Amino acid sequence: MKRNLFKAAVLVVGGAIAMASPVMAEDEAKSLDELLKMVKQGQVSDAREQRAREQRFKNARYDQEKMLKEAKATLDAEEKRSSKLENTFEENESMILERQRQLKERLGTLTELFGHLTSTAGDMRSNFQSSLISVQFPNREEFVDQLIEKMAGAEELPSIEEIERIWFEIQREMTESGRVVKFRTTVTSAAGEKSEQEVVRVGTFNLVNSEGEYLQYIAENGTVQVLARQPNGPYMSWAEDLASASSGVTPFGVDPTGPTGGSYLAALIDSPTLTERWHQGGVVGYVISAVGVLALLIAVWRLIVLSIEDMKVNRQLKSSSANEDNCLGRVLKVHENNPSMDSETLELKLSEAVLKETPRLERSLNLLKIIAAVAPLLGLLGTVTGMIITFQAITIFGAGDPKAMAGGISGALVTTVLGLVVAIPTVLLHTFVSGRAKKILHVLDEQSTGIIAEHTEGRAGN
């Protein structure tokens, strides 16, 4: 039993050694001597590792102490440097204040002069940026920028030459604003193509090229572009005549708001033409236009027919025999065919003949009257539908853009204008055509009444 306990103890010690030294645990002890040797080797290895670890800790502690000393030395140096810089800053600040006091004393009354000079240079820069004269003289702004930067720095004063240059630029701006000159510059077409062209500058108001197109100066990038949309009317031909003229007086459409951006020319260009306004009427506008054309054709047709009939009636009045190619001749033919008829019957026959001719003479007059009454109603219909669409857009997108809202209302009112434009002439044409028809009918009634009177007198004499 003691032998078994000894073996168990040996196994426990062997297990401990295997956990402490995994490398040696890989070999199994074949005897007690080998086991004892393995235990000694494990203790020696552990001691060696322990000493190495302690040495590393000592070295790391030494390094940390060294780094701490270096950090403290750096901190002391930086604190001394900071103190030195603070003293230097205070000295510089005192020096700056002294220099500023000396500058102010030396300037004296010139301070106000340079203040006005700075203000004038600032105004010049803003004027030069938007002036059309900068197209011909593009380097003026660089000088003004440099001068403003110099005076803003307060380190050096402007020279006499620079002050004279300011006076010269102001004088040149005034002189060039009253001149019409030609020069060459780079122009960007509406398609984005750049080319060297000869342009005409009318003071500070407008730029046109040799083709009579109005140009626009883009101050942001200093380029000249052809307006995508040109003004209507005679302005284009006037601009072309001005571009080709060498002397004398030439009519030209000058934009008086040119120096401030050409707002009047822009408004003139943005104004829709008659064709564009007609298209704003939409489907209702097209219907009103078609009805108006129909009324015009009917009126012209009836005027031609009634004029021809009036000529034939006048010839019939001068003739002694009835001719059936006109309405009066057909009425007179009734009396010629019935010479012995009693007066009452003849009167009825003549009235019947006049009634037969009345529809031919008054044909389509009621249609003209209907068109004159319906056209304003169609215009009102288009206006109401257009206003509904406009208010729906306002409901969806809001009323933040008054210009867009005014454009929608303006387009809606176009149909009302079209309706009135159609109705008013149609009423006048109906009145004129109706008057021609009534004139002929009056002749027929007059002649038929005269025939009855003559016929009655003849039978009374017999």
Q: Identify the band that residue 12 occupies on the pLDDT scale cut at 50, 70 and 90.
A: very low
Tokens of 445: 């009634």
**pLDDT tier for residue 290 given thresholds of 50, 70 and 90:** very high
Higher pLDDT, 398 or 423: 423
Q: What is the secondary structure of 199-247 as a DSSP string?
A: EEEETTTEEEETTS-EEEEETTTTEEEE-SS---TTHHHHHHHHHH--S
- In 273-420, DSSP assigns E strands to none
Within a 10 A sphere around the Cβ of 186, how many other Cβ atoms?
Answer: 13
**459 — pLDDT class (breaks 50, 70, 90):** low
Please count the other Cβ atoms lying within 10 Å of the Cβ belonging to residue 138. Answer: 12
| DSSP bridge partners of 223 | 218
pLDDT tens-digit map of 391-400: 877 777 766 6
- Provide the token pair at 251: 């009519």
Q: 180 has which bridge partners? A: 202
Distance of CA 1 to the CA centre of its chain: 112
User: What is the separation, in whole angstroms, between the first and last Cα of the chain?
Assistant: 190
pLDDT at 25 over 60: no
* 170 — pLDDT class (breaks 50, 70, 90): confident
User: How far is residue 292's CA from residue 366's CA, in Å, rounded to a whole number?
Assistant: 15
In the block, residue with structure tokens 């938007």: 130
What tens digit of pLDDT does each residue of 341-388 get? 877 888 888 888 888 888 888 888 999 999 999 999 999 998 888 888
Cα 150 from Cα 169, distance rounded (Å): 18
**Is 13's pLDDT higher than 50?**
no
By C-alpha distance, which of 222, 223, 226, 224 is closest to 212? 226
Residue 44's pLDDT is 65
Question: What single-letter amino acid sits at 358?
Answer: T
Q: What are the structural domain ranges in the chain?
A: 2-76, 110-177, 182-271, 280-461
The whole-number average pLDDT for the span 115-136 is: 82
Whether 205 contacts 115, CB under 8 Å: no
Residue 372 has a pLDDT of 93
pLDDT over 70 for what percent of the chain? Answer: 84
Residue 315, pLDDT above cutoff 70 = yes
Return the minimum-mean-pLDDT range out of 21-30, 45-54, 265-274, 422-431.
21-30
Tens digit of each residue's pLDDT (9 = 90 or more) over 148-164: 877 776 566 778 888 88
pLDDT of residue 265: 73
Q: What is the pLDDT of residue 131?
A: 83
Which sign, positive or negative, has the C-alpha torsion 427, 429, 435, 440?
negative
The pLDDT mean for the chain works out to: 80
407 pLDDT above the threshold of 70: no
Residue type, 437: A
Strand partners, 187: 195, 224
> Would you say 372 and 288 are in contact if contact means Cβ atoms under 8 Å apart?
no
Residue 167: the pLDDT is 85
* Structure tokens, 148: 């403003």
Are 140 and 134 within 8 A, CB to CB? yes
Q: Is the pLDDT of residue 7 over 50?
A: no
